Structure 1
Amino acid sequence: MIGALMLDIAGLALSTEDIQILANPQVGGIILFSRNIESPSQVRALTDHIRQIRPEILIAVDQEGGRVQRLKHGFTALPAMGKFGNLYQTAPEQALILAEQCGWLMASEVLAVGIDLSFAPVLDLNNISDVIGDRSFSNNLEDVVLLAGAFMQGMQRAGMATTGKHFPGHGSVKADSHIATALDHRSYEEIATTDMQTFVGLMPTLNALMPAHVIYPQVDRNPAGFSRYWIQEILRKQLGFEGVLFSDDLTMQAACVVGGADARILAALEAGCDMGLVCNNRSDALLALQAIQDLPLPDQTRLTRMKGNIPALTIKDELDLGDEWLNTKKRIMQIE
C-alpha cells in the first residue's frame, strides 16, 4: 500500500532510521536529491534496497534539465527547457522532435536507476518569476503547450508518468516561494485565461499535477496547494482532472503560512492532495508522519498509475542503454 507522505534521506545509502521509517504504511514515497547521488550503479543499488523494504513505494527525483537536475555524474547533462523555446522560434519542427527525444532520454535514464518519476515538466510561463525562468519552455502559451506536450510524449514513451507543475501558474509571480510568501493579485479570469491554460491544454497528457505554493488572494486566501477551491472546485470539478496531486515541498517558506509541518500536511491532504512532500528536514517529516497516522491511506488506484516501467538490469559502472539512447544523447547534448 502507498501512503500519503513523501520524504527524503540523508546519504548515499539507507540508515537504520531510514529503514525503520520506510516500514510505516503512511510513507508512500522517497524523493532523492543530489546528496543521494554518486553514480548510476550506486543509485540503482539504493533504489533496489528501498524496494526490498517497500516494493510498492514511489521513488521520485527532480530531473527537469538545466539548473534543476539531481542526477549528474554518469547521466546526460540536459538542457534547460527554455532552450527548446528558443529553438522553436527559428526551427519549430526540429524543436518539437528534440523536445520529445529529450523527454524520452531523461525518463529512460531515471527509470534505468530504479526511480519511478521525475517531477516534470514545468508548465509555468516564463514571465517575471526568477525561480522559474528558463525552467519554463517559453513565455508564449501556445509554445509551452506544444513543446511540453512533445516532452511528455517522450516521457510516456519511455514508461514514465508525467507531473505538470506548478498549477495554476507560478511564472507571473516575482517572489520565490522557496524563501518567501508568494502572492499573485490578479483576478481568477486573468489567471484562467493566461497561465492556467497551459495546464488545461495539456490535461489529457498529464498523469499528475503539483499545485503552486502561491496565494491568489482574489480567488482564495490559501496557497493553491492548500486550497479546496483550487483543488476541488477548479481542478477536480470544473476541469475534471482525475490524476494524482502531489503537494510541493511543505518545508518551503511559502507553505509555512499554514503552521507547523503537521498542520501543513493535514491542510494539503484535506484540500485534496494525494501525497504531501516534506523534504530536507527529518524532524518535520517525522512530525508530519505522526500527524497522519490515523488517516486512511490515499487513493491507491491513482497513485499506482505513477509507478514507472523500471527495467530489470544491472548497472556495473556507467549507463549503457543501447543505440537509441546513445544517439539521442549526442543530439540533445548539441543543443545550444
Structure 2
Amino acid sequence: MTLGPLMVDLEGTTMESEERQMLCNPLVGGVILFSRNYESPEQIAALCSEIHELRTPHLLIGVDHEGGPVQRFREGFTRLPSVSRLGDIYDINHKKGLTLAETSGWLMASELRAVGIDFSFAPVLDLGRGISSVMKGRTFHKDPEVVAQLAHAYLAGMQRAGMAATGKHFPGHGSIEADSHVAMPVDERRYEDIFAEDVLPFERMIHYGLAAIMPAHVIYSQVDSQPAGFSAFWLQEVLRKRLEFSGVIFSDDLSMAAAESAGSYSDRARAALQAGCDVALVCNNRAAAEEVLSGLGEGFIDDPVSQLRRVRMHGRHPVTRAELHQNPKWVRAVHSVTDYDESPEIDLPI
C-alpha cells in the first residue's frame, strides 16, 4: 500500500478501533500528534509503534516540536528554548550561535526519533520582524541572511539525527499581524520585495537539502488572490520552477480559519492538492477528516511523484531512548541547551 496524500490526527493517548480503520484508508499517508496524544515517553513510543505496525510502508508520524512556545511533548523531553534565543546568541557570537543551532536541531530530532516520530514540522524560516504575534519566539532572526545561516545549522543537526526538515511558512508569515488560525491574513507587499527578503531563507535551504516545505495560509494580494497554500503560482511557478524545489509540500492545517475561503473540507483538500501540495493536513476536527476521506475518494488520482516524495520523509537512524541517554553527545547537548536557555546573558569568550 502506498502512502496517501492526507495527514490526520488522533483523539487521545491510545488508538481507538475506528481510528485504526481510518488510518488504514489508502488516502491516509500520515498522522500528526498533539499534546493531547502525549502522556509519557513510554506511552508515545508505544503509540508510534502501534501506528507504524498498521501498514507497509509505515505511516508517517509528524509533530510540531519547534521549542519555546511550540513543543508538544514536554515532561520527559528536554525543554527546548525558543529559536529566537539562538538569534540573540548569534548577534553576540556568530560561531557560538551556529554551534548551538546545530546542537538544538540534533537534540530535538534525536529525542523524537527515539520514540518513533519520523519528523518535526521545523524549522520556522519566517522573519522575526516583531509584527506577527503568532510568530513570537518562533523565528530565528529578523535578517533573512542570519535566518538562513542558523536554519542551515539546525538542518544539519536534524539530518545527523536521521530526521528530514520541514521549512515553514512559505513564502513568509513574518510581515502580517493577523493569526491565520483565527483570521485570513493579507500581505500587500510586492512580489519583488517578498522574494528578495522572505523567500531568501527558503531558497538557501532548498540548496542545502531541505526535504519539505509548508506554505502559509496567507493571501499575498499583489501576487495572487488565493492563499499561498492554495496557489498554483506560489507552489508551482515559484517553488517548483523558479526555486527548483523537489521535496514534499505540506499544506497547513485545513481546519484553520484562513482555509475557509476554499470551501468545504473536501474542497479545501482537493484545492490544496491540485495547487501543488503533496500532503493535506486535516487536524482537530474528526468530522472534517471523515468528510475529506469520503469526498476526496471520488475520482481522485494520486500523483506517483508525490507518493515517492512522501516516502522520503520516513525517519532514519533508529535509536532507543536508553541508547540515546547513554550517548555522551546527548548529555552534552542537554547541558548546552539548558545553559543557553537559562542564562540571561551569554558569556562567550571564544
Class of the TM-score when normalised by the shorter of the 2 chains: over 0.9
Q: Do 1:74 and 1:319's aligned partners in 2 also have CA atoms closer than 8 Å? A: no
Residue 68 (structure 2) aligns with: 66
Deviations 1:210-236 (A, max 9, x none): 000000111000000000111111111
Residue 235 (structure 2) aligns with: 231
Match of 1:287 among 264, 284, 291: 291
Q: Decide whether aligned partners of structure 1 residues 196 and 303 sit closer, same or farther in structure 2, where only a CA change above 3 A counts.
A: same
Give the CA deviation at 1:203.
1.0
SS of 1:146's equivalent in the other structure is helix
Give the 5 Å matches for 1:169-188. Answer: 169-188=172-191
Residue 86 (structure 1) aligns with: 88
Letter in 2 for 1:15: E
Deviations 1:122-180 (A, max 9, x none): 00001111111220000111110110110000000111001000000000011000000
Q: Distance in 2 between matches of 1:310 and 1:322?
A: 14
Give the CA deviation at 1:312.
5.3
Q: Do 1:75 and 1:319's aligned partners in 2 also have CA atoms closer than 8 Å? A: no
Letter in 2 for 1:43: I
Q: Decide whether aligned partners of structure 1 residues 174 and 118 sit closer, same or farther in structure 2, where only a CA change above 3 A counts.
A: same
Deviations 1:250-308 (A, max 9, x none): 00100111111111000000001000000000000111111221422342221111100
Q: Do 1:169 and 1:195's aligned partners in 2 also have CA atoms closer than 8 Å? A: yes
- RMSD across aligned C-alpha pairs, in angstroms? 1.3
Q: TM-score, normalised by structure 2?
A: 0.93
Residue 275 (structure 1) aligns with: 279
Q: Distance in 2 between matches of 1:230 and 1:287?
A: 27
Q: TM-score, normalised by structure 1?
A: 0.97
Q: Do 1:40 and 1:319's aligned partners in 2 also have CA atoms closer than 8 Å? A: no
SS of 1:77's equivalent in the other structure is coil
Q: Distance in 2 between matches of 1:20 and 1:98?
A: 43
Residue 28 (structure 1) aligns with: 29
Q: Distance in 1 between matches of 2:271 and 2:226?
A: 10
Give the CA deviation at 1:13.
0.7
Letter in 2 for 1:308: G
Q: Distance in 2 between matches of 1:37 and 1:297?
A: 32
Deviations 1:172-212 (A, max 9, x none): 01100000011000111111111111111211221000000
Give the CA deviation at 1:321.
5.0
SS of 2:168's equivalent in the other structure is strand
Give the CA deviation at 1:320.
2.5
Q: Do 1:178 and 1:253's aligned partners in 2 also have CA atoms closer than 8 Å? A: yes
Deviations 1:18-74 (A, max 9, x none): 111011011001000000011111011001101111242100000000000001110
SS of 1:20's equivalent in the other structure is helix
Q: Do 1:116 and 1:310's aligned partners in 2 also have CA atoms closer than 8 Å? A: no
SS of 1:59's equivalent in the other structure is strand
Give the 5 Å matches for 1:117-132. Answer: 117-127=119-129, 128-132=131-135
Q: Distance in 2 between matches of 1:142 and 1:65?
A: 21
Give the CA deviation at 1:310.
5.2
Do residues 306 (structure 1) and 310 (structure 2) align?
Answer: no
Q: Do 2:324 and 2:330's aligned partners in 1 also have CA atoms closer than 8 Å? A: no
Give the 5 Å matches for 1:80-119. Answer: 80-119=82-121
SS of 2:214's equivalent in the other structure is strand
Q: Distance in 1 between matches of 2:181 and 2:126?
A: 16
Deviations 1:89-110 (A, max 9, x none): 1111111001001000000001
Residue 40 (structure 1) aligns with: 41
Q: Do 1:115 and 1:310's aligned partners in 2 also have CA atoms closer than 8 Å? A: no
Do residues 250 (structure 1) and 257 (structure 2) align?
Answer: no
Residue 320 (structure 1) aligns with: 325
Match of 2:213 among 209, 213, 221: 209
Letter in 1 for 2:143: N
Q: Do 1:122 and 1:135's aligned partners in 2 also have CA atoms closer than 8 Å? A: yes
Structure 1 runs of 4+ with >4 Å offset: none
